[in-house]
Structure 1
Amino acid sequence: MIQLEGITKSFGSLQVLKGIDLTIDKGEVVSIVGPSGAGKTTLLQIMGTLDKPDAGRIILNNVEVNRLKDKEQAAFRNKEIGFVFQFHQLLPEFTALENVMIPSLINGISGKNARKEAEAMLDFLGLSERASHKPAELSGGEKQRVAVARALINHPSVVLADEPSGSLDTQNKEELHRLFFELRDKLGQTFVIVTHDESLAAQTDRTIHLIDGRIS
């Protein structure tokens, strides 16, 4: 489903990625691990079309996404790729429900249908009673589950998560990890997760070790 071929990336004279070849199948939960500076986040951002490689191909669902024009790429990203970040990235002025609705509205879904889908997603994640609360009124675990709901709202082909449990306490971290596998089992969702958490990496279907810009 995802295929990376010969991905390289440099920042000035520093080459961060040195020819990455990687294939990820539908329904896989894959972790990417490695020391700081190994290029994990850069690889994830390139996979998610948030950054451009210097060379190489990114193929997602048979579409070579790095050949798309910027506007086409943005539309493809919004529909096909969900993102979960370490610090939630929720908009503080909006409620949990409104935050989850945003990608659907960007995708051209009507407000009525976007609200219905967002309510169903929050209910699925056990957050119905928190729908009208703003991020400042939510716990860290609740905020991250809202972020997961937002990532899933357009039924993306893949969810890319960058240290998703890095800011959570042990209990919320374990709940989030269980949620990823529940979503894979119930929805067939594909996850690619950059993590330093050894317990999460040990649970994933496959662990990719990135060292000095190469897959080890």
Structure 2
Amino acid sequence: MLSATGIHKSYGKLEILKGVDLEVAKGEIVTIVGASGAGKSTLLHIIGTLDRPGSGAVSINGINTGKLSARQLSAFRNQHIGFIFQFHHLLPEFTALENVCIPAYIARKSQKEAAIRATELLKMLGMDHRAHHKPAELSGGEQQRIAVARALVNNPLVVLADEPSGNLDSNNAQSLHNLFVDLRNEFNQTFIIVTHNEDLADLADRKIVMKDGLISGMGGTTGGIKNA
């Protein structure tokens, strides 16, 4: 479903990615781990079309994202890729329900259609009772669940998460990790997650280890990491 081939990325003379190849299947949970500076977040941003590679190609559902115009890429990103970050980035002046609806509005869905989908997601995530609360009235775990609902509102092909539980306490982090597995099991949702959290990394179907801009190892989490 997703393929990244020969991904290189440099900023000036600093080479961040040195030729990364990665394939992810539909319904797979893949975690990317490694020391700070290994290139994990840069790779995630390139896969998510937030940045372009210096060379190489990213294909999602058979579409080469590098061949899309800026306008086409923006629409593709909105409709097919969901994002969850360490900080929820909810808009403080809007309610939980309104925050979840925003990507659907950008995709030109009607207010009614967006609200129905957002309400369904909030109910599924156990947050429907908080639909009309603003972010400041929610706990950290609740805020991040709203961010998950927002990422899912347009039924994306893939959800990309960058340290999604990095700002949560251990109980809320574990709850969020279990939620990712539940969403995959119920909806065959695909996740690619950058994390330093070993518990989350070990819940994945596959764990990718990055070092110095390259994939240094990968394997199923039940069998341990195998050297590439």
SS at match of 1:7: strand
Aligned partner of residue 159 in structure 2, secondary structure:
strand
CA drift at 1:150: 0.2
Give, in whole Å, the separation in 1 of the partners of 2:18 and 2:92.
Answer: 38
Structure 1 segments of 4 or more deviating over 3 A? none
1-side partners of 2:66 and 2:100: how far apart?
A: 27
Q: Paired residue for 1:40?
A: 40
Gaps of 5+ in 1: none
Within-5 A mapping of 1:157-176: 157-176=157-176
Partner residue in 2 for 1:86: 86
SS of 2:19's equivalent? Answer: strand
1:37 to partner: Cα distance: 0.3
1:213 aligns with 2:224: no
| Cross-structure match for 2:107 | 107
Code of the residue aligned with 1:28 in structure 2: it is E
Distance 1:119 1:198 in 2: 32
- Which fold has the larger relative contact order, with Cα–Cα distance below 8 Å and residues 6 or more apart in sequence? 1
How far off its partner does 1:157 sit?
A: 0.4
Identity of aligned residues (%): 58
- Which amino acid is 1:56 matched to? G
Aligned length: 216
Structure 2 unpaired stretches of 5+: 217-228
> 1:199 Cα deviation (Å)?
1.1
Q: Give the secondary structure class of the aligned counterpart of 1:38.
A: coil
Q: How does 1:50-199 map to 2 (within 5 A)?
A: 50-199=50-199
Return the letter of the residue paired with 2:97: L
Give the aligned CA root-mean-square deviation in angstroms: 0.4
Q: Describe the SS at the equivalent of 1:57.
A: strand
Q: Compute the TM-score of the two structures, normalised by the length of structure 2.
A: 0.94
TM-score, length-scaled by structure 1: 0.99
User: Aligned equivalents of 1:116 and 1:202: distance in 2?
Assistant: 34
Deviation at 1:203, TM superposition (A): 1.3
The aligned residue for residue 31 of structure 1 is: 31
> What is the CA distance between 1:152 and its match in structure 2?
0.3
Q: Which amino acid aligns with 1:184?
A: R
Deviations 1:35-69 (A, max 9, x none): 00001000000000000100000000000011100
